[in-house]
Amino acid sequence: MTAVDGGRRPIRFNAFDMNCVAHQSPGLWRHPDDQSHRYTDIDYWTELAKLLERGRFDGLFIADVLGVYDVYGGDDVAAIREGAQTPVADPLLLVSAMAVVTEHLGFGITTGTGFEHPFPFARRLTTLDHLTKGRLGWNVVTGYLPSAARNFGAADQLDHDERYDHADEYLEVLYKLWEGSWEDDAVVRDVDRGIYTDPAKVHHIGHAGKHFTVPGIHVGEPSPQRTPVIYQAGASPRGTRFAAENAEAIFIAGPSKRVLAQTVSRIRDELEAAGRDRYAARIYALATIVTDSSDEAAHRKHEEYLSYASVEGGLVFMSGWMGIDLSQYDLDDPIGDVQSNAIQSAVAAFQEFDDDGREWTVRDIGRWAGIGGMGPVFVGSGETIADLLADWQADTDVDGFNLAYAITPGTFEDVVTHVVPVLTERGQYPEEYVPGTLRHKLVGRGDRLPDEHRGARYRIGGPGSTALSEEQVRAGSLIDSH
């Protein structure tokens, strides 16, 4: 992105959506201006993509879960009734259509490491990176809903840290396929000799690990970025370590500047410990902006949105995120010292006292999650919001904000109309997109993974490469070699 005045970092925006109704604002699907029920209509997505590109957002981040929020009350009834991320549709299938109507917007697609074998998954993402001309990002999630694991035949999901160990190997396989199978000049399209691809330049990856055995080649040819931009959103100690090794964009969520500042500083320390620059990954904090032409109009709008928000829906989400059935507590109980096998960072965030030194109760977190999930809601005119964002960025060291909606596309339209012009005028927002791939736009160092990134170790000839020579393959040493 272009430099901004005074050497300050620009404030970057990502939009946060999901292929479902009301995403993280339970109850707001009842608002007359909300169009989230159009999630099944491809025009909703292409219109949204064009809007976000007009606002020079870095990307559209599409969340996903493959289970039902059935922790609250011990069943799925409340989630189904409230439309709490149920029904939910596939995020990947939206991308091609949005790519056709945009030139710069990035697409951060969420897929869990527990639900699909890495071999076909690698091909699908390679396909989308080609079709988007290198604008694909993948949000790596390890899952948190036991209901998802049960529908894959497991009694429960793996333990929290074990899910990350499994994800480590999942990524190892992907890096080998994306980075270590095809040489850049493998495809020769030599008409005279009748050679489409030079077989000597396509390598079997020879992976044999604890969870996966993938001996062969990647079946897709290298896409503009090879490895899509890796996004991550886990902030527990194990999650942060995983992010520091892999992530290029990190999404965090917390209710206060204090919580966010601690998380950001932990992440940046871990990035350095992993041999990377403290600022090698862009960090976006979840937030929702309710804005209008004046502070008064924005506050009126917020009050109106609140009247549609569902506290029960908020508790359905929070129970799923925390892995704790909050229906069994009194609404005035403090959140206390509970342990979680779901999202540990979510629990920790609410166990912290907030910026005013107040302890959170169950009711507080239900209300809090009623609009935009676990992040703060900023309310005010474009000027007020610009002040708030600059203040939160200065105090937390985030690179930008991952913007959830109260209603869609209304919330995003309001941000583009009222906030983006003020930030741009103040020299705090990119004036134009940098040409090129999503990775280059975000980090400015080219299309491919930087050399110090974990994935680069798996390049052919790199220290982590298990690529086999033609002789080894012919000698049948594919699996034996490990």
Location of structure tokens 């005074």 = 6
C-beta of 421: minimal distance to ligand FMN in Å?
26
**CB nearer ligand FMN, residue 63 or residue 271:** 63
CB of 107 within 8 A of CB of 136? yes
Between 36 and 344, whose beta carbon lies closer to ligand FMN?
344
Q: Which one, 55 or 112, has the nearer CB to ligand FMN?
A: 112
Cα(54)–Cα(424) distance, rounded to whole angstroms? 13
What span, in angstroms and rounded, lies between the C-alpha atoms of 31 and 72?
A: 24
Q: Which two tokens stand for residue 480?
A: 């034996």
β-pairing, 249-252 vs 229-232, is: parallel
Total number of residues shown for the chain:
482
Considering the complex, what minimum distance in angstroms separates the CB of residue 2 from ligand FMN? 27
**428 contact partners, CB below 8 Å, separation of at least 6:** 4, 5, 8, 10, 11, 386, 389, 390
Q: Which residue, 160 or 207, is less far from ligand FMN as judged by CB?
A: 160
Q: Return the number of the residue (18 or 298) whose C-beta is nearest ligand FMN.
A: 18
Give the whole-angstrom CA distance, residue 415 versus residue 289.
7
Output the smallest distance, CB 184 to ligand FMN, in A.
32
Residues that bind ligand FMN (CB under 6 A): 63-65, 110, 112, 141-144, 233-236, 239, 251-253, 286, 343-345, 402
Work out how close the CB of 203 gets to ligand FMN at its nearest, in angstroms, rounded to a whole number.
32
Nearest distance, CB of residue 258 and ligand FMN, angstroms: 17
Minimum CB separation of residue 250 from ligand FMN in Å reads 9
Is the Cβ–Cβ distance between 400 and 346 less than 8 Å? no
The residue number whose beta carbon is nearest to ligand FMN equals 239
| Closest CA relative to residue 206, chosen from 218, 215, 198 | 215
Q: How far is the CB of 239 from ligand FMN (least distance, A)?
A: 2
**Side-chain-facing half-sphere of 72: CA atoms under 13 Å:** 26
Judged by CB, which is closer to ligand FMN: 98, or 205?
Answer: 98
> Which C-beta is closer to ligand FMN: that of 159 or that of 303?
159
Residue 232 or 437 having the CB closest to ligand FMN: 232
HEC letters along 373-432:
CCCCEEEEEHHHHHHHHHHHHHHHCCCEEEEECCCCCHHHHHHHHHHHHHHHHCCCCCCC
Q: Closest approach of Cβ 148 to ligand FMN, in Å?
A: 8
User: What does the block give as tokens for 167?
Assistant: 């994800």
Q: Residue 428's closest CA among 58, 11, 7?
A: 11
